Structure 1
Amino acid sequence: MDTKTALRIERIQTVAQDVKCFDLVSVNETELAPFEAGAHLELQLPNHLARSYSLMNAPGERHRYQIAVHLSPTSSGGSRYMHENLQENDVLLASVPRNNFPLDESDNVRHYCLVAGGIGITPMLSMAQRLNALGRSWELHYGARTRAHAAFVEQARALADACGNQAFFYFDQEPGGQPMDLTALAAAAPRHTHLYCCGPRGMLDAFEQATSHCREQAHVEYFTAKSEAALQGGFTLELARSGLTLQVPQGRSILDVVFDAGISVPSSCREGICGSCETRILAGAADHRDALLSEAEQNANQTMMICCSGAKSARLVLDL
């Protein structure tokens, strides 16, 4: 299982309509584990839910983790609990930061185009701070319904101004407001540009369509499931290290069946967006339904997210 760290909520601020920012520090006042731009933190909430949130502060900071949480109108308990129940000095357990949305810092990347929608601005702030530290060229495109809904606009603008970069803002529900044109944005990106997008599902789908011509240079982070979980069942599951052979019935995930057999596997989101349950495939063909593995990685069939993915073959052997 993942090692958990006890974190104290040092400060809570309301930073936009339905958005709160949380500063988390070690309860022992010790240095926190390092993290990279694009990383997220998984919090174990007192209501027995685990939720992952992008880190927004500068990589290299070891005295705090900073996250922001949007109160979703369709919250299943995570964001609502964060907004309505947590107070300063409360203590939460958290995982070590994990990064499924890393910056490509190689020399062949000449420019970065950061695209954010709503609370998707959080990983982009961390990326912008990292790129400033590296002296790299970037631009930010940030969309929200209105200015009141947009958190960290001034911080984003200051980060851009600090190193001669650019930040553009789109508030499409304000008078005269224009939506972001992702197709035009992707088409105008200079050569050797990498594009990063985090935001609501509709934006991510549009971004992937707009960048279909440069898939290897386009990167996304999903907050919600990208597709329905594979729950058709009807296949045999072999756990190589445990020596177990199990049947996966209709309506049950591989993760459910593994848990029922008494095998402990790290898990959190159950939607294929956090990467906690990634498991090595030893034989058989997976039916991939996650939002993390690239098309090439899914075709390689070396690992899978067992919370949401199933099997295309009658037999699937996992390294568990």
Structure 2
Amino acid sequence: MSSPSSVSAGFEVTVRQLRWEADGVLSLQLQKAAGGPLPPWEPGAHVDLVLPTGIQRQYSLCGPLGERSHYRLGVRRERASRGGSEYVHAFLRPGQRLYLKGPRSNFAFQPAASYVFVAGGIGITPILPMIRQAESWGRPWHLLYAGHTAASMPFLDELRTYGSRVSLHPADTVGRIPLASYFAQVKPGVKVYACGPAPLLAALEEAVGHWPPDTLHVERFKARPQGSAEEDKPVEVVCRASGKTVTVPAGRSVLDAVEDAGIPVPASCRSGLCGSCETAVLDGVPDHRDEILSADERAANDRMFVCVSRARTPRLVLDL
């Protein structure tokens, strides 16, 4: 078990229940080891699960809205993964203690006149609380849910209670979601929330390309490929809070360079997805390479995620 000192801002939880939700998908119920309510959360939030091996992975909260006696996570077994999901499936048992960090959200659910949700496989997990929130607000919504097979699609029993508002698209029997035809006509006031594998999200982005710019909100499993490190140039990073100046060479991240200089930075995914390394920009222009900020947020240039983002200017001044 990792020690509390090695898990910044974390707290200990106990595995309350493990349950099969689909082929290769387990749900975990986690409760606070010390008792009492867990921190509040909103739809779209995720937590960092710190395993006894030291592996730290992000999972979306997918339990009932407002539920604080326990958190529910959904974990698909990925045998080609870096070990997180494999450990959960092979070794986790009820009563085991783990550390948790969060919750936090880079996938905030915004009010709208109506919603379309698009999910692929385990990407349904952040969408479930959004559906419940839309229900509680009395807003119209529809879900397009894809998977390889129906047996591989988690939480189907919960979703079937919504009837025709849920369209299931197991590829082996129904085929792919007809995104181009579904989104051919622009519908004012609609927001689209999506999570799933890269090909699904790429097809969705193309399908809604003629919709208003703020229509689509996505959360990705993996960061999109970045440009070659050969294109990067060294950048001088002034760390205002610590009084140090660090030169970040091409091919290295700002995060790695400042850590080597003895400046601690909270970090988890190191791929521009989780948001834990968010840092205020005091001067200079970042080269944003994360999967979190919107176009307007990037244009503000007042914060960056130092695990992946670099600089468009030779010098950056950061609140580190």
TM range (shorter): over 0.9
Q: 1:85 and 1:211 mapped to 2: Cα distance?
A: 42
**How big is the shift at 1:120?**
0.4
**Residue in 2 aligned with 1:288?**
288
**Stretch deviating more after TM superposition (35-44 or 209-218):** 209-218
Q: 1:186 and 1:46 mapped to 2: Cα distance?
A: 45
Superimposed CA distance per residue, residues 26-85 of structure 1 (whole angstroms, 9 cap, x where no aligned partner): 112211111001111111111211111001112211111001011124201111111112
Superimposed CA distance per residue, residues 208-256 of structure 1 (whole angstroms, 9 cap, x where no aligned partner): 2222222202100011112327753511111011111111123211001
Name the SS for the 1:23 alignment partner: strand
2:167 aligned with 1:168: yes
Q: Give 2:213's aligned amino acid.
A: R
TM-score w.r.t. structure 2 length? Answer: 0.93
**Stretch deviating more after TM superposition (231-240 or 221-230):** 221-230
Q: Give 2:74's aligned amino acid.
A: A
Structure 1 contact 38–101 (Cα < 8 Å) conserved:
yes
- Give the alignment partner of residue 192 of structure 1, picking from 189, 192, 197: 189
Structure 1 contact 255–307 (Cα < 8 Å) conserved:
yes
- Give the alignment partner of residue 220 of structure 1, picking from 218, 221, 224: 218
2:154 aligned with 1:151: yes
Superimposed CA distance per residue, residues 134-182 of structure 1 (whole angstroms, 9 cap, x where no aligned partner): 2221111100010111111120121x24xxx7000001123xx221022
**Residue in 1 aligned with 2:309?**
309
Q: Give 1:171's aligned amino acid.
A: P
Name the SS for the 2:104 alignment partner: coil
Identity of aligned residues (%): 38
Q: Give 1:227's aligned amino acid.
A: P
Q: Give 1:217's aligned amino acid.
A: T
What pairs up with 1:1-320 in 2 under 5 angstroms? 2-105=8-111, 109-158=112-161, 160-161=162-163, 166-174=165-173, 177-188=174-185, 190-213=187-210, 214-228=212-226, 231=229, 232-320=232-320
Superimposed CA distance per residue, residues 85-132 of structure 1 (whole angstroms, 9 cap, x where no aligned partner): 211111111112101111112xxx211111100000111111111222
Name the SS for the 1:212 alignment partner: coil
Q: 1:198 and 1:112 mapped to 2: Cα distance?
A: 14
Name the SS for the 1:142 alignment partner: strand
Name the SS for the 1:96 alignment partner: strand
Q: 2:20 and 2:233 mapped to 1: Cα distance?
A: 45
Q: 1:257 and 1:239 mapped to 2: Cα distance?
A: 11
Report the aligned-residue RMSD.
1.6
Matched pairs, number? 311
**How big is the shift at 1:205?**
1.6
Q: Give 1:5's aligned amino acid.
A: F
TM-score w.r.t. structure 1 length? Answer: 0.93
Structure 1 contact 9–90 (Cα < 8 Å) conserved:
yes
Q: 1:189 and 1:116 mapped to 2: Cα distance?
A: 20
Structure 1 contact 230–310 (Cα < 8 Å) conserved:
no
Give the 4+ runs in structure 1 shifted more than 4 A. Answer: none
Q: Give 2:88's aligned amino acid.
A: M
Q: Give 2:136's aligned amino acid.
A: A
Q: 1:94 and 1:145 mapped to 2: Cα distance?
A: 31
Q: 1:302 and 1:229 mapped to 2: Cα distance?
A: 23
Q: 2:267 and 2:259 mapped to 1: Cα distance?
A: 10
The gaps in structure 2 that reach 5 residues or longer are 1-6
Q: 2:42 and 2:221 mapped to 1: Cα distance?
A: 18
Name the SS for the 1:291 alignment partner: coil
Q: Give 1:138's aligned amino acid.
A: W
